[in-house]
């Protein structure tokens, strides 16, 4: 079965950086759009960013634009979320999601259901 496994979360001070990783099994990222979502306690899940199946397009939420970068390593079949200048409001569980290439990745921000989800990784930013 398909599995997405996130890693790289942890506790970091405000202004610090983290790189989250998403390893996929039984799917190849070059055939799937990848996205990152997050959910803070008591808040709705929100879109963070996405990368197209072709790897040549990325999209980010306004709240993180300029501070995060999504990238992909096809040789390792990994997707990454590099987060810099972290703020306490970035504290959340971060989820990796995948949707087959036929879906328009530009619609990710409005999407609530995805083909595959990871279990999430906790990111805590202290002030």
Residue-wise pLDDT for 73-123, tens only, equals: 999 999 999 999 999 999 999 999 999 999 999 999 888 889 999 999 999
pLDDT at 66: 97
Residue-wise pLDDT for 25-78, tens only, equals: 999 999 999 999 999 999 999 999 999 999 999 999 999 999 999 999 999 999
The tokens describing 110, both together, are 């409005």
Residue-wise pLDDT for 1-20, tens only, equals: 999 999 999 999 999 999 99
Q: Is the dihedral of CA 3, 21, 61, 57 positive or negative?
A: negative
Give the number of residues written for the chain.
127
Dihedrals phi, psi of 74, to nearest 5 degrees: -70, -30
- 56: Cβ contacts below 8 Å, ≥ 6 apart: none
Instruction: Please determine, for residue 126, whether its predicted confidence score (pLDDT) is greater than 90.
Output: yes
Rounded distance between C-alpha atoms, residue 43 and residue 72, angstroms: 28
């Amino acid at each position: 079965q398909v599995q997405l496994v996130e890693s790289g979360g942890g506790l970091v001070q405000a202004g610090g950086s983290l790189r989250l990783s998403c390893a996929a099994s039984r799917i190849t990222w070059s055939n799937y759009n990848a996205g990152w979502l997050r959910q803070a306690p008591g808040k709705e899940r929100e879109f963070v960013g996405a990368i197209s199946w072709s790897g040549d397009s990325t999209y980010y939420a306004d709240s993180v634009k300029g501070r995060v970068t999504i990238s992909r390593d096809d040789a390792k079949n990994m997707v990454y979320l590099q987060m810099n200048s972290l703020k306490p409001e970035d504290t959340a569980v971060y989820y990796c999601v995948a949707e087959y290439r036929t879906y328009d990745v530009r619609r990710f921000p409005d999407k609530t259901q995805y083909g595959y989800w990871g279990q999430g990784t906790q990111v805590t930013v202290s002030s």
